[in-house]
Structure 1
């Protein structure tokens, strides 16, 4: 059942939606509050609303949020995307490296959709289960376990994956045995020992030290840049 639209524009309803999203809202959300394109344009000209990206608007006088850039991208994805990979590592505090681009996983069914991707966004295609998703303020982010598996799959620099794995395990965010893809990936580069809690990775192996490279985008990888 669709959301019932009001008979007339409802500013309080629009504000309620926007206030949960750092002051931002989408064209579709505006429509459910009775604000169609002509009325939006009127408020843009009046300085009450600002258009920040195609299909995304902001209440001009709403206080600035800490991660507005993520909210804008999430609304651009029609609220279907989940922040992942390097972006999720940073949000979980598992990496000191700030990614140059925003990484977003969108549904696998969208793989053949044609649309203009913002220049600061790297898209990955895949389905994120409910138990692989958490919320960071107004936006969804992949869980630590899913994030680590994703980073190993795209061959992010082994030292970054190693540090994130060890931090996540030490903080109790993951079980050391719960990320088989990460374990298999790190075994290629690091010595490994085992304890009752699971695998522990030590120093880099000599044969692997020369395999680390840098992708053209500036995000370190172990040999390739995956844009899925």
Structure 2
């Protein structure tokens, strides 16, 4: 008899548990599930099909949802290349009044996939511009403010994010301004305006 950790379900569960219960067909195949077995588990309701090639263990669907569970799905969709960014990152960091209607992702310049549910931005991010969360990556608060400002996010949202980040003591004005300067003059102007709003 094989050890528990060698069984396909145990292998897949161990991986999916770090991804809020989500997994790809390729990950299931690597864990030991043939495509026929995968079809069987979806048909039986053991796995919930989320999208083409992406499923989730039913047990996680039945559990109380974490606020950002759905972001893991887009990490898997992008084969691990996407980083949650812009106003989506502001929302993840609970900064300001940003309430994005769409999910913003930053991907490497060569990325070609598209989906109407997401806004795709292309950029090479440095490791220090990203943070790891459970099952997904997100741009840092400083980067999230700068890229949102560059994208033209409403000034009130930038103002509130800047004020909250400074109030937390999580960044300095100099750090915010340098990050904004790196992404362009539009971001720099918006961040400078936010500094004036903070003093008002």
Does the TM-score normalized on the shorter chain lie above 0.5? Answer: yes
CA–CA separation in structure 2 for the residues paired with 1:38 and 1:47: 14
**Structure having the larger proportion of residues in strand:** 1
Aligned equivalents of 2:51 and 2:81: distance in 1?
17
Cα deviation code 1:7-30 (max 9, x no counterpart): x96110000011111111012211
Matched, 1:57 2:55: yes
Give the drift of 1:93.
1.1
CA contact (8 A) 1:9 1:35 kept: no
Deviation string 1:135-169 (CA, Å, 9 cap, x unpaired) is 23322110011111101111211121111111111
The count of corresponding residues between Structure 1 and Structure 2 is 184
CA RMSD between the two structures: 2.1
Structure 1: gaps of 5 or more residues: 1-7, 193-199, 204-228
Range with greater deviation from structure 2 (178-187 or 91-100): 178-187
TM-score (norm 1): 0.73
Tell me which residue corresponds to 1:74: 75
Runs of 4+ deviating beyond 6 Å: none
Once the 2 structures are TM-superposed, how far is the Cα of residue 58 of structure 1 from its aligned partner? 0.8
User: Contact 1:22 / 1:71 at 8 angstroms: preserved in 2?
Assistant: yes
TM-score, structure 2 normalization: 0.83
For residue 131 of structure 2, the aligned residue among 112, 123, 134 is: 134
Distance 1:97 1:155, change over 3 A: closer
Relative contact order (C-alpha < 8 Å, sep 6+): which is higher?
Answer: 2
Where do 1:29-178 residues align within 5 Å? 29-62=27-60, 63-66=63-66, 67-110=68-111, 113=112, 115-117=113-115, 119-178=116-175
Q: Distance in 1 between matches of 2:48 and 2:117?
A: 20
| Bigger Cα Rg | 1
